[in-house]
Structure 1
Amino acid sequence: MNRDVVLEMFDRQLRREARSAGAGDRVERTGDVVRHLSTGDGSTGDGWATVVWSDLDAATADAAIAAQVRHFTDLGREFEWKLYAHDQPADLADRLAAAGFVPEPAETLMVAQVPDLPTGIDLPESVQLRPVTTPADVDLLRDVHDQAFGTDFSGLRESLLTQLAADQLIAVLAMAGDIPVSAARMELHAGTDFASLWSGGTVPAWRGKGIYRALVAYRTRIAAERGYRYLQVDASDDSRPILQRLGFLPLTTTIPYVYRRSPIFIDRQ
């Protein structure tokens, strides 16, 4: 896999040409900035808001940053500027910090070719996988994520239901009897070569038993069936070694820079 070629494809297909995921989700292009917003069912201000792409230089960056701050402040919303290591200008991180953005932990953009990934699912004897198909399943997934990541995922519920209804999301639970112990999602980016893995998380007592790898394999099978060429993930330090052993390659790093004005959920791997 040619890293430079795949990174250019990722930038073009998922950032510069980002597409809406359906009702309650929209992409906005203003000047040299692309924003991706989710408002759940569209009736509230809950959800996430992210600058996914910018084409800036030293002469335009500060004005563009200020414009985004004004826009979201007027809406009373917090938002994230998704900064990648190769984004320009080279001091964009410093400019965001000077404007009041706070960096969150760095993540590694990793990509694998779907045919190169293992698809065998090996689970503990007492654990079975269950597709997420109903609102009750979404609630279980949210509860697992809350336990696994120590983060409030409640604001994600409506967005997930919207994506499920639009067939743009695959989600799965790992169940130990009636108890959910792990969960993961995959976003299907129609019209692109990429599907994205998100929030593979296991509750502490069930870690180290191969469940995370099984959830990756489950989603890989579906990505192959749907004809996707690549799987992409923004990997945390915890998941990066596992993904690398499975065949994912690091392309670059990314840091979410968050501008906080009101409580809001921002999803990250």
Structure 2
Amino acid sequence: MTTSAELLAAYDRQLRTDAETPSALDVEQLGPLRLVTFDGGRGFITYAGLDGADAGTIAGWVAGALGYFRNNPAIRHIEWKSRGHDWAPGLHVALVGNGFEPEESESIMIGRAADLAVDVPLPVGVALRQVTEEEDVRAMSAMADGVFGDPVSTATADSLLRRLSHADGMELWVAECGAEIVSAGRLEPVTGTDFAGIWGGATLQAWRGRGIYRALTAARARSALAMGKTLIHSDSTPYSRPILERSGFVKVSTTTPYIWRAPA
């Protein structure tokens, strides 16, 4: 499996199913749409494709999906996950017209786990480890919030701790210098597939460009291989994409999240 088309086909076939939402509290179907409820008042909309629908049909699905989630007062945040290779006429217009706002597009990157699992030297004083204790998870989450310019969210840390309590395979990894977490990321093996995902990569500005994120990625790749996963996928920012490309990863498409937020 070496070509971009083959990797994209594997992505569509293996990942755009229940495998995409392992920690869902509830999943409902609306046409081809999967309406997913997550812990913490989060709704999520995804699909394997839109079945060649026209703009009018797609607009109806957008309105119907929003209506479904708005009937649940606990839902405060909804993400519609779009992919650049889907045939989706009128989708952007329908989403924006229903109050969804597009965020920055990211590159869908796929490659062999073995190509990432290499030895990477770390700066003096920096060490990697997997974390599971509440204090560590909250510190990791707070660091990532700061990197992404968000206020520190106890809800995000709470969600990660609940995921760990379910023992669904997710791993949290950090790089530390002394008592300071300087980089972090998740590994999410996808049950019943060849894939594991690497998510949430964040490195403090002062520590970037020193190989730390690359080493953290290599550690997660080694762990994925130990689980029997041969492929890694990632929705990558312009910062992380070149790191993966240097390891032979391929950009197979793009993904753009559209976000709806409940009024304050």
TM-score of the superposed pair, with normalisation by structure 1 = 0.88
Q: What whole-Å deviation, never above 9, does each CA across 1:20-72 have from its counterpart, x for those lacking one?
A: 534x6443333211133321xxxxxx253211215241152111111111111
Counterpart of 2:120 in structure 1 is 121
What is the correspondence of 1:55-94 to structure 2 with a 5 Å cutoff?
Answer: 55-56=50-51, 57-58=53-54, 59-76=56-73, 77=75, 78-94=77-93
Counterpart of 1:244 in structure 2 is 245
Provide the identity percentage: 36
Q: Partner letter of residue 32 of structure 2?
A: D
Give the counterpart of 2:43 among 49, 55, 67: 49
Counterpart of 1:154 in structure 2 is 154
- Please report how far the alpha carbon of residue 262 of structure 1 lies from its aligned counterpart in structure 2 after TM superposition: 4.5
Counterpart of 1:215 in structure 2 is 216
Q: Partner letter of residue 72 of structure 1?
A: F
What is the correspondence of 1:1-269 to structure 2 with a 5 Å cutoff?
Answer: 1-18=2-19, 20-22=21-23, 25-39=25-39, 46-53=40-47, 54-56=49-51, 57-58=53-54, 59-76=56-73, 77=75, 78-152=77-151, 153-165=153-165, 166-262=167-263
- Please report how far the alpha carbon of residue 139 of structure 1 lies from its aligned counterpart in structure 2 after TM superposition: 0.5
- Please report how far the alpha carbon of residue 19 of structure 1 lies from its aligned counterpart in structure 2 after TM superposition: 5.6
- Please report how far the alpha carbon of residue 207 of structure 1 lies from its aligned counterpart in structure 2 after TM superposition: 1.4
- Superposed CA RMSD: 1.9
Counterpart of 1:42 in structure 2 is none
- Please report how far the alpha carbon of residue 225 of structure 1 lies from its aligned counterpart in structure 2 after TM superposition: 0.6
TM-score of the superposed pair, with normalisation by structure 2 = 0.89
Contact 2:120/2:211 (8 A) holds in 1: no
Change (3 A) 1:232 1:162: same
Q: Partner letter of residue 226 of structure 2?
A: E
SS of structure 2 residue aligned to 1:258: strand
Aligned mates of 1:118, 1:222 — CA distance in 2: 9
SS of structure 2 residue aligned to 1:144: helix
Contact 1:21/1:168 (8 A) holds in 2: no
Q: How many residues align?
A: 256
SS of structure 2 residue aligned to 1:75: coil
Moved over 6 A (4+): none
- Please report how far the alpha carbon of residue 256 of structure 1 lies from its aligned counterpart in structure 2 after TM superposition: 0.5
